[in-house]
Amino acid sequence: MALPVAFFAVFFAWPVAAIVARGLKVDGVWRFGRITDVLGQPDIRHVLWFTTWQALASTALTLLLALPAAYAFARLDFPGKRLLRAVVTVPFVLPTVVAGSAFLALVGHGGLLDQLWGLRLDTTVWAILLAHVFFNYAVVVRTVGGLWAQLDPRQEEAARMLGASPLRAWRKVTLPALAPAVAAAALMVFLFTFTSFGVVQILGGPTFSTLEVEIYRQTSEVFDLSTAAVLTLVQFAAVGAILAVHAWTVRRRETALRLVDPGTTARRPRGAGQWALLAGVLATVALLLVLPLAVLVRRSLDAPGFGYYRALANADGGTFLVAPVHAVWTSLQYAAVATAIAVVIGGLAAAALARRDAGRLLRGFDALLMLPLGVSAVTVGFGFLIALDKPPLDLRQSWILVPLAQALVGAPFVVRTMLPVLRAVDARLREAAAVLGASPWRVWREVDLPMVRRALLVAAGFAFAVSLGEFGATVFIARPDNPTLPVAVARLLSRPGDLNYGQAMALSTILMLVCAAALMILERLRTDRTGEF
């Protein structure tokens, strides 16, 4: 645990503490009264209310639309199921900037709805809510559906034989068993939407602002570090509470259920009801997930002869110091380095946490590993500039800052992917190898590695996709001559003109295709038992 603890202490705890101290300390004296002053401002209270309200609404809408799909993937067997599962997961691994761009192309000025019916939703909260459902749909489908596929259907069938109606059997038997998974999925969706940045930044405009967007505005536009520090503390406390509740629901889920092989529970749809449900799921996926991406691709092709794509090779000297297409190669390089860092840090942490003799303090570190997913990435990025500005860690001019920030987000995914597999390895195999004279390194290489190799590759793939799309921290620390794809998209969208908009759509399409390719590779590596994130 030495290296993971040191990594998170230096590159997460220190930058966050540095920016909070910079905001709340004046002449060496802490000004805690500033917290009350900031929270008493009407505009800040409105931001807090909107952040909470839109997160609750997004979570409820996601559950409403995604739970039928979770049932379809868990209980129904139909042609194209594997492909559809990959399609459903694509939005989750896409950067939030691409999700915002896709819905902007659908509901914004000159978008598909505007062209067909003169309808624009980019100035309404509905655009944000639908984009959040688009992004988090797979969280519910794979988390709840993964457990649903492992529930023994004979329990519900027994209730039906005893006279219960289908609805009552589901409500009395299946729903209580699914409740921990539904709660865990709802909490994760709430966490992602509560800390939403890219989607709200692009679709919210000046009208709507979440805590994350307000922290960005206070640090980069208003330069009020005191207010930003207070908002960071509020978000940190909220995320800590959400993660604590999430950890409790996961523990309930792991200990309260008896599961069966998921390959034995799915069957062909029977009856008009199941076929209608499957048709509804397919229609929802087509309209909510596929249509925005298709419109995004179409808008990128509006210029004849792939004009927007060819324009990416030209540096205009305004938005970038280099040609926009340079961001593709830069992002791939940064993501590769970030993936290597995340796999090393997350793999070591997972190996330590998987030990049966891990103490309570070590197990508590498991929850802390999730904090980078919820704490303001904007705060982390700005904290990098403040904390890592003196020897021996003066990294402000170093390219490694971007991969380090991306690895902070990727490492929790590595831990979550590898930890269940490592815990499933029979300890007696390691003990037998040790008794036969194998060194600890050889035990790992001969016993653990063959069993976790596939999980390691899946973890690396998720870390790569997440690193490729990281935006909140990278927007602060990416150099003008080396922008990443999400930063390049955001900068192009911030400038007026059809050419800039078209180039943003083209870069978003490229980023989507790269993430989709990584996901298809992951889907091939995924075993039938890997039914959830």
Residue 206 has pLDDT above 50, yes or no: yes
Coil, strand, or helix at residue 30? strand
- The residues, ordered by sequence, that sit 6+ positions from 382 with a Cβ below 8 Å of its Cβ are 15, 19, 219, 220, 228, 476
Query: Which helix (H) or strand (E) is 377 found in, with range?
Result: helix 377-387
| pLDDT of 53 | 92
Q: What's the rounded mean pLDDT across residues 190-198? A: 85
Mind spelling out the 3-state secondary structure of 295-323?
A: HHHHHHCCCCCCHHHHHCCCCCCCCCCCC
| pLDDT of 359 | 61
Distance CA 216, CA 218 (A): 6
Query: Which helix (H) or strand (E) is 150 found in, with range?
Result: none
Confirm if 125 and 61 have CB atoms less than 8 A apart: no
Q: Which has more pLDDT, 136 or 232?
A: 136
Pairing of strands 29-30, 393-394: unpaired
Exposed / middle / buried, residue 375 (Cβ in 10 Å: 0-12, 13-18, 19+): buried
Q: What's the rounded mean pLDDT across residues 144-169? A: 77
Pairing of strands 389-390, 29-30: unpaired
Nearest to 491 by CA among 321, 337, 292: 321
Coil, strand, or helix at residue 26? strand
Distance CA 15, CA 457 (A): 30
Confirm if 476 and 384 have CB atoms less than 8 A apart: yes
Residue 263 has pLDDT above 90, yes or no: no
| pLDDT of 251 | 58
Q: Which two tokens stand for residue 480?
A: 């003008």
Type of residue found at 400: I
Q: What's the rounded mean pLDDT across residues 96-100? A: 80
Condensed to tens digits (0 to 9), the pLDDT of residues 35-70 reads 888 888 888 899 999 999 999 999 999 999 999 998
Confirm if 429 and 445 have CB atoms less than 8 A apart: no
- The residues, ordered by sequence, that sit 6+ positions from 410 with a Cβ below 8 Å of its Cβ are 338, 339, 341, 342, 346, 462, 463, 464, 466, 467
Determine the length of the chain: 533
Q: Which has more pLDDT, 132 or 157?
A: 132
* pTM listed for this prediction: 0.79
Condensed to tens digits (0 to 9), the pLDDT of residues 361-399 reads 666 677 677 778 767 777 788 788 888 877 777 887 788
Q: Which two tokens stand for residue 298?
A: 């179409």
Distance CA 355, CA 19 (A): 35
- Of the pLDDT bands very low, low, confident and very high (cuts 50, 70, 90), residue 89 is confident
Q: What percent of the chain has pLDDT over 70?
A: 88
Q: What's the rounded mean pLDDT across residues 449-458? A: 77
Coil, strand, or helix at residue 151? coil
Residue 469 has pLDDT above 60, yes or no: yes
- Of the pLDDT bands very low, low, confident and very high (cuts 50, 70, 90), residue 513 is confident
